Copies of this chain bind each other. A is one copy, B any other.
């Protein structure tokens, strides 16, 4: 046998697994959904799993949460372990299909506490999710947290999603999201960085 790795794994942290039972009820409004995301993002960096990011996938037909994700770059050891990657992959794992848009009656939405980084922007497009709900976009995240979000297409980023059948809802609990990034920037949380240049992993 060789030393090659043949399988990659990423798991939710124990503290989040322990509270999943609390998230089985419907979340009727975008504000309720984003409040959960902001709360998880805040706890995530304090627990040391990764950056101040969380994401959930919600079924618009039932208002039920399909999956919950947080950034697990540090705890999983995978640089791709962003919150959106976790939420999308765990939804696909639970539903046993890589195309989350396969059921026309159950359109799914991704709720996340800022505009996704370039990697997660792409993973959203390939996931089959039909709706993106974000707390905001703009430079505040990079300024407050020190993260590099990558060269996401500038003014066209919404149009590129909409051209692919994905709607965008903006500015849901924006101030609350910024408050989390501000706390992160002020904290002693480990700032991870794959390039040694003062820019950081995101998502």
Taking CB atoms, residues of chain B closer than 8 Å to A117 are: 122, 126
Is A92 located at the chain interface by the 8 A CB criterion? yes
C-alpha spacing A102/B85, complex, angstroms: 23
Report yes or no: B8 in contact with A86, Cβ–Cβ below 8 A.
yes
Contact of A79 among B2, B80, B123 (CB under 8 A): B123
| Residue picked from A20, A94, A100, A126, most chain B C-beta under 10 Å | A126
* Nearest chain B residue, comparing its CB with the CB of A66: B4
Report yes or no: B125 in contact with A122, Cβ–Cβ below 8 A.
no
C-alpha spacing A199/B7, complex, angstroms: 28
Taking CB atoms, residues of chain B closer than 8 Å to A8 are: 9-11, 86, 89-90, 92-93
Tell me the A138-184 residues at the B interface (CB within 8 Å).
148, 150-151, 153, 156-157, 160, 164-165
Category for how many chain A residues contact B: 35 or more
Contact with B along A59-84 (1 / 0, CB 8 A): 00000010110000110111111000
A residues whose Cβ falls under 8 Å from a Cβ of B: 1-12, 17, 20-21, 23-24, 65, 67-68, 73-74, 76-81, 85-86, 88-94, 96-101, 117-123, 125-128, 148, 150-151, 153, 156-157, 160, 164-165, 192-197, 199, 201-202
23 contacts between A and B (CB under 8 A): A1-B21, A4-B94, A5-B90, A5-B91, A7-B93, A8-B9, A8-B86, A77-B92, A79-B99, A79-B100, A81-B98, A98-B192, A101-B196, A117-B122, A118-B122, A119-B122, A121-B122, A125-B148, A125-B194, A126-B194, A127-B194, A165-B196, A165-B197
